[in-house]
């Protein structure tokens, strides 16, 4: 447990630093708003107490008038309106409010990191597995921050009510604090029972989805009918789904247990407060207005604490996923970019040159073995060979997707190592047989290859001309748009 708490603390600090770097104003602003909103329930209790006190005094003595409480009632009404509006500032609302800062911000940082990882390293299984897991978790930072803001609201609200109890009676403060500690301990103890192995769960879900999706493929569905294997496929799916069902059932049981113990603790608190308050009212130590305020405080606190239980659970899950993100971003094999100032020569007779070029994916078996060649400007070269003979690998080396294991590559007379990353790619166009078309205009589809010129119609027209796309352009009613 200590190791988990320490790990979560470090991950949380790392995430807060990310959030601070992405937007200081958003972080400070939302913490301030949530803290102020959290004080509204306590303020409403204080104003209710003053109103009840004034009315009680009038009923007992007959002194005073409605004008004495008019202002307080109006203020209370305004506070209740603010509470109603603040209830819309829930976790879902805050997720949308901070989405642009944290989701997009984390996506940009992640993609900047990926650009610094060599393709060969990115294809290694251990890195690929982590990459596939964290690439779909960009929303976890947004979830964590939204849940953190919610937790801040709940913590400030609970703290303000405990301090309110202290102003009336040390006994009430002690009872209230004991209830709070009891609920937090129950949540800490039982929340651990609600967690599970996310890595193991991923495998269960993957296997279940495999059987769900495969039966929807026409060829497989046909075979199932012909060979009457539907029952066997159903059994396979049930076997894969059973761990997920058992896990969800177990989590539901512990969730209900938490709710049950919190409810029992709440009713015990109410009974203790009622008995003590009645005794104090009878003794003349406290008045009815204080009694009703304490009762309202107990109700509000119980509601907030139960919501905090769910928030606490969500934060733990967010921290797990962000921990994986932190590990990947800190341990990924990043290639340090050195300061390079070499520019591509505008005109050089030898475009590509390989000297004793070797390449291996696993550092054991070479795919390319001591290649030496030159490709001159204006030449048309065809690489012919069997599947797996290294054609695509060589092309990827030429466009810097891979780095040579041995030997040297030169582009327009200068070693690849002397160019800044991406500099050579700006002079090379490449497409594979598995092309992609975007749901956008022809101009944008062509312009995506050079974003800084996506609005330059002359350059795009020139690219279409060189690529043999002018006939296509002439057939389109709206041209490149």
Q: Is the pLDDT of residue 193 over 70?
A: no
pLDDT at 340 over 60: no
Give the chain's mean pLDDT.
Answer: 81
Q: How far apart are CA 227 and CA 192, in angstroms?
A: 46
> Which range, of 1-5, 28-32, 67-71, 204-208, averages the lowest pLDDT?
1-5
C-alpha atoms less than 13 angstroms from C-alpha of 261 in its C-beta half-sphere: 19
Range picked from 192-206, 318-332, 417-431 for highest mean pLDDT: 318-332
Residue-level pLDDT at 94: 82
End-to-end CA distance of the chain: 60
Provide the Cα torsion 402, 403, 405, 411; round to 10°.
120
In angstroms, how far is CA 305 from the centroid of its own chain? 25
Residue 337 has a pLDDT of 59
* DSSP at 117: B
Give whole-number Cα distances, 357 to 123, 368, 397, in Å: 21, 7, 10
What distance in Å separates the CA atoms of residue 450 and residue 460, rounded to the nearest whole number?
A: 9
Greatest mean pLDDT among 107-116, 271-280, 302-311, 431-440 lies in: 107-116
Nearest CA to 53 out of 160, 156, 168, 163 is that of 168
* Cβ neighbours, 10 Å, residue 54: 18
Q: Which of 405, 2, 421 is nearest to 188 (CA)?
A: 2
What are the pLDDT digits (tens) for 421-472?
777 777 787 777 766 777 888 888 888 878 888 889 999 999 988 888 888 8
* Burial state string for 155-166 with b = 16 or more CB within 10 A and e = fewer than 16: bbbbebbbebbe
- What gap in Å lies between CA 50 and CA 178, rounded to an integer? 27
State the Cα–Cα distance between residues 202 and 217, nearest whole angstrom: 23
H/E element, 372: strand 366-376
CB distance 224 to 215 below 8 Å: yes
Task: Check whether 17 has a pLDDT greater than 90.
Answer: yes
| Highest averaged pLDDT of the listed ranges 85-89, 149-153, 288-292, 360-364 | 149-153
| pLDDT band at 343; cut points 50, 70, 90 | low
Higher pLDDT: 386 or 281? It is 386
User: Residue 93 in contact with residue 125, Cβ under 8 Å?
Assistant: no
Position with higher pLDDT, 168 vs 140:
140
Among 3-7, 27-31, 43-47, 404-408, name the one with the lowest average pLDDT: 3-7
With a cut of 70, say whether residue 133 has pLDDT above it. yes
Residue 338 pLDDT greater than 90, yes or no: no
pLDDT band of residue 273 (cuts 50, 70, 90) is confident
pLDDT at residue 302 above 90?
no
Least confident piece of the model among 257-266, 314-323, 339-348, 451-460: 339-348
Q: What is the pLDDT of residue 339?
A: 54
- Specify the pLDDT at position 341: 56
Is residue 375 within a helix (H) or strand (E), and if so which, with residue range?
Answer: strand 366-376
The pLDDT value recorded for residue 309 is 74
Please give the share of the chain, as a percent, with pLDDT higher than 90: 8
435 CA to centre of own chain: 30
Q: What is the mean pLDDT of residues 243-259?
A: 79
**Quick one: pLDDT at residue 32?**
92
**DSSP secondary structure string for all residues of 11-27:** HHHHHHHHHHHH-HHHH
Backbone angle region of 353, left / alpha / beta, with phi > 0 → left and psi within -120 to 50 → alpha? beta
Q: Is the pTM of this model over 0.75?
A: no
Other residues' Cβ atoms within 10 Å of the Cβ of residue 168 = 19
For 212, residues 6+ apart whose C-beta sits below 8 A from its C-beta are 237
């Amino acid at each position: 447990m200590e190791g988990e708490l320490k790990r979560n603390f470090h991950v949380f600090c790392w995430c807060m630093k990310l959030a601070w770097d992405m937007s200081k104003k958003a972080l400070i602003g939302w913490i301030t708003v949530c803290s102020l909103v959290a004080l509204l329930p306590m303020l409403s209790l204080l104003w209710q107490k003053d109103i009840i006190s004034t009315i009680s005094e009038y009923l007992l003595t007959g002194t005073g008038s409605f004008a004495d409480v008019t202002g307080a009632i109006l203020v209370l009404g305004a506070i209740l309106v603010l509470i109603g509006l603040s209830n819309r500032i829930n976790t879902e609302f805050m997720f949308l409010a901070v989405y642009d800062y944290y989701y997009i911000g984390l996506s940009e940082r992640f993609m900047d990191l990926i650009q610094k990882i060599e393709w060969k390293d990115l294809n290694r299984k251990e890195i690929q597995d982590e990459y596939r897991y964290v690439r779909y978790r960009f929303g976890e930072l947004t979830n964590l921050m939204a849940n953190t803001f919610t937790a801040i609201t709940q913590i400030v609200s609970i703290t303000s009510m405990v301090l309110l109890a202290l102003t009336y009676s040390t006994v009430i403060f002690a009872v209230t604090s004991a209830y709070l500690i009891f609920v937090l301990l129950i949540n800490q103890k039982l929340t651990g029972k609600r967690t599970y192995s996310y890595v193991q769960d991923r495998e269960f879900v993957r296997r279940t989805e495999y059987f769900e999706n495969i039966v929807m493929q026409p060829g497989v569905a046909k075979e199932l009918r012909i060979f009457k294997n539907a029952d066997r496929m159903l059994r396979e799916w049930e076997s894969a789904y059973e761990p997920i069902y058992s896990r969800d059932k177990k989590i539901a049981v512990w969730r209900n247990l938490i709710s049950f113990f919190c409810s029992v603790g709440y009713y015990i608190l109410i009974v203790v407060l009622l008995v003590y308050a009645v005794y104090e009212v009878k003794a003349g130590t406290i008045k009815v207005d204080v009694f009703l305020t304490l009762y309202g405080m107990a109700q509000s606190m119980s509601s907030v604490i139960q919501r905090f239980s769910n928030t606490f659970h969500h934060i733990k899950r967010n921290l797990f996923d962000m921990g994986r993100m932190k590990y990947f971003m800190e341990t990924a094999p990043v290639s340090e970019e050195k300061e390079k100032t070499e520019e591509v020569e505008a005109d050089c007779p030898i475009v590509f040159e390989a000297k004793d070029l070797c390449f291996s994916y696993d550092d054991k078996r070479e795919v390319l073995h001591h290649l030496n060649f030159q490709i001159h400007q204006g030449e048309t070269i065809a690489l012919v060979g069997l599947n797996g003979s290294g054609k695509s690998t060589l092309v990827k080396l030429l466009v810097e997707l891979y780095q040579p294991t041995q030997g040297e590559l030169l582009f327009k007379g200068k070693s690849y190592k002397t160019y800044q990353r991406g500099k050579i790619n700006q002079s090379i166009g490449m497409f594979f047989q598995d092309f992609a078309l975007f749901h956008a205009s022809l101009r944008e589809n062509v312009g995506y290859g050079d974003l800084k010129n996506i609005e330059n119609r002359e350059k795009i027209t020139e690219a279409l001309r060189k690529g043999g796309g002018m006939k296509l352009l002439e057939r389109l009613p709206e041209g490149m748009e």
